[in-house]
Structure 1
Amino acid sequence: MELTVYLAGEIHTPWRDEIKTLVSKKGLPISFVSPQTNHNFSDEIGAQILGEQPNKYYHDNAASSINNLRTEIMLKKSDIVIALFGEEYKQWNTAMDASSAVAHGKPLIIIRPETLIHPLKELSNKANVVCESVEQAVRVLEYIYK
């Protein structure tokens, strides 16, 4: 049985590659999807497809519509969502993706540091599993196959 895992979270560190490498080393039959991880491409996609917009609000709105469509499709096709919350970057998109997973009834694994226990308490309560590291999340995936 192959699972598809949606990787929600910031795009500035290599955490997705770490998960993919660990999963590959364990030989788990898992494929991965994610939001668009090319920041500039994501920000400019609205203007690239729909044309130049009259101001920054409409520029961002056009990109957001296309990004939200892509994210919804990828998330709905996934079997599990892993949402990584780090300390360094703003987490609005991660919280939105994790909340969407809950709303769509997708199993959710949250990775977050101890310092975010309080700010994420409600969302963590809705998750299936909350852990503190990429390694722990991969061990949860591995357990599914045992």
Structure 2
Amino acid sequence: MKVYLSGEIHTDWRVQIIKGCDAKNLNVTFISANTDHEASDAAGDCLGEESTAFWRDHKSAKVNAIRIHHAIKTCDLAVIRFGDKYKQWNAAFDAGFCAALNKPYITLHDESLTHPLKEVDASAQAWAISPEQVVEIIAYSINP
């Protein structure tokens, strides 16, 4: 199974899921957007300098989209994490892209975000509140 890990980059939830799947000897390959914030912001810098932040961000978003669109289109499942410290608009976009492509996804967030993410959760196949729950869903999906 190929799993795309999307969203919040400030905690180790990705590592927890990867280690949890490894501990269960699950045949899973993980892919992700660039989780190095500064490198992601600079993805479009190879196209030339910009005088405004808008155009730098615009170019970098487009370059990052190459990787992200490929990852979502080729994954079997996406896990989309929403943290409480920052707004992950990119994660909401990824969830919408998954829904549009009919790709199954799991949202991962705490209960405080249930109301603001109600539409995102409504299209998800599951809502988890911990990486351990995500591991259990992946395990079940591979070995029912």
TM range (shorter): over 0.9
The partner residue of 2:54 within 53, 57, 68 is 57
Deviation at 1:68, TM superposition (A): 1.2
- Normalised by the size of structure 2, how large is the TM-score? 0.95
Count of matched residue pairs: 143
AA of the residue aligned to 1:51: G
Aligned match of 1:133: 130
Structure 2: segments with no counterpart, 5+ residues: none
The partner residue of 1:9 within 7, 24, 37 is 7
Give CA deviations for 1:30-59 in whole Å, capped at 9, x if unaligned: 000011111111101111x20112321111
- Normalised by the size of structure 1, how large is the TM-score? 0.94
| CA RMSD after TM alignment | 0.9
Give the Cα–Cα distance (whole angstroms) in 1 for the partners of residues 102 and 19 of structure 2.
27
Q: How does 1:86-97 map to 2 (within 5 A)?
A: 86-97=83-94
SS at match of 2:66: helix
Over the matched positions of the two proteins, sequence identity in percent amounts to 38
Give the Cα–Cα distance (whole angstroms) in 2 for the partners of residues 11 and 119 of structure 1.
20
Q: Answer yes or no: is 1:44 the counterpart of 2:42.
A: yes
Aligned match of 2:65: 68
SS at match of 2:58: helix
Structure 1: segments with no counterpart, 5+ residues: none
